[in-house]
């Protein structure tokens, strides 16, 4: 499948997290809607209120089955607003949905909801993960241990923190200083808390120098995703305001990761957010654009395209 394929033609879904459970692909997107809120840099127009889950048995020729609402903001005890990008992990027969949500003070934290089935419904815990902040959780399972990658700038509030401490005022580094990194943290055995302090996900250039804040076409902005290929860890992410999907490769879950290049050139619509997964012997890039909505950036549509590697392990860029 070389041509991108839209997956949910009758609704606006975005920010997909995708995993293989029980021999099927399960897609966990955010759910865009027309909220009437004017667009701004804080992302208030992204006023998502629930999650659906979709499954597929055949990416090439099949359709995505909608299993309905699996979690609604009204059912989360600590909820304020905005259910943004989520991810799901499986351990010991349970499925754990990790979701960013603003509390009643408009501060993002990451919560957990649990189900016995990948298609939900998911029951939220009464409180968010202690010490959690910002957005875009992504989960990696590695030899029975689970790691969460998270963080996003601007509306994602990552600029309000340094070394896991809240700042009095948001702060951005100078252009020649190291860029604000995403974070990685090991989860506790019960999957409900952090097992340690989160660490920075450092992205280096080929000379071993950390990418700088002014390097807008390579530095991290949001949308962490991690996958393994031929024993290497591929950390992919969005550059945000330069609209690229990029990736870097490392030797362990904590990094550092060495920048490699661009996966996906800019799509129609402001945001770029994705998942990379192997299914039935092929690799796929799930992402979104705003073509069906006429370019409205907060009404995005899910799509998928085959992803291919070069012989040296680098990823072929998708135009």
Kindly name the residue from 11, 15, 176, 312 that is annotated as catalytic.
Answer: 15
Q: Is the dihedral of CA 230, 180, 135, 303 positive or negative?
A: negative
Check if the beta carbon of residue 6 is closer than 8 Å to that of residue 306: no
* Positive or negative torsion for Cα 294, 300, 302, 306: positive
Asked about 141 being catalytic, the answer comes back as no
Tell me which residue of 290, 233, 258 sits closest to 45, measured CA to CA.
Answer: 290
Between the CA of residue 30 and those of 15, 155, 299, what are the distances in Å?
A: 6, 15, 11
Alpha carbon distance 151, 156 (integer Å): 7
Task: Return the residue matching tokens 């975005």.
Answer: 14
**Quick check: 95 and 89 in contact, CB under 8 A?**
yes
Q: Which residue has the tokens 């055949």?
A: 58
Rounded CA-CA distance 18/302 in Å is: 12
Which pair of structure tokens corresponds to residue 73? 């903001």
Contacts of 250 (CB under 8 A, 6+ apart): 232, 233, 235, 256, 257, 258
Residue 67 is encoded by which pair of tokens? Answer: 């299993």
Residue 229 CB-density burial (10 A; 0-12 exposed, 13-18 middle, 19+ buried): middle
Please state the length of the chain: 319
> How far apart, in whole angstroms, are the C-alpha atoms of residue 194 and residue 153?
21
In this structure, the strands spanning 87-91 and 65-72 are unpaired
222 in catalytic set: yes
Candidates 85, 215, 222, 289; catalytic one: 222
Q: Is the peptide bond before 121 cis (omega within 30 degrees of 0)?
A: yes
Active-site residues, by number, are 15, 222
């Amino acid at each position: 499948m070389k041509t991108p394929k839209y997956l949910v033609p009758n609704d606006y879904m975005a920010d997909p997290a995708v995993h293989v459970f029980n021999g099927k692909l399960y897609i966990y997107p955010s759910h865009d809607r027309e909220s009437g809120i004017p667009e701004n840099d804080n992302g208030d127009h992204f006023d998502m209120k629930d999650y659906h889950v979709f499954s597929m048995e055949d990416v090439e020729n099949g359709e995505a089955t909608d299993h309905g609402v699996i979690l609604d903001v009204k059912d989360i005890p600590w909820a304020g607003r905005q259910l943004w990008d989520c991810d799901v992990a499986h351990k010991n027969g349970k499925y754990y949905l990790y979701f960013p949500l603003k509390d009643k003070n408009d501060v993002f934290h990451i919560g957990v909801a649990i189900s016995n089935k990948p298609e939900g419904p998911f029951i939220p815990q009464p409180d968010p993960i202690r010490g959690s902040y910002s957005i875009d959780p992504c989960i990696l399972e590695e030899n029975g241990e689970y790691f969460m990658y998270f963080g996003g700038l601007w509306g994602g509030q990552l600029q309000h923190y340094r070394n896991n401490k809240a700042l009095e005022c948001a702060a951005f580094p100078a252009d020649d200083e190291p860029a604000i990194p995403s974070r990685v943290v090991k989860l506790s055995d019960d999957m409900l808390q952090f097992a340690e302090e989160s660490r920075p996900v450092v992205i280096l250039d080929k000379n071993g120098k950390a990418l700088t804040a002014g390097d807008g076409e390579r530095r991290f902005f949001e949308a962490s995703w991690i996958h393994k290929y031929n024993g290497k860890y591929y950390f992919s992410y969005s550059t945000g305001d330069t609209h690229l999907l990029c990736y870097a490769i490392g030797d362990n879950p904590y990094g550092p990761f060495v920048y490699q290049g661009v996966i996906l050139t800019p799509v129609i619509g402001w945001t770029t957010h994705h998942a990379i997964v192997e299914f039935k012997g092929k690799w796929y890039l799930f992402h979104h654009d705003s073509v069906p909505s006429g370019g409205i950036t907060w009404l995005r549509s899910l799509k998928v395209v085959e992803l291919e590697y070069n012989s040296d392990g680098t990823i072929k860029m998708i135009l």
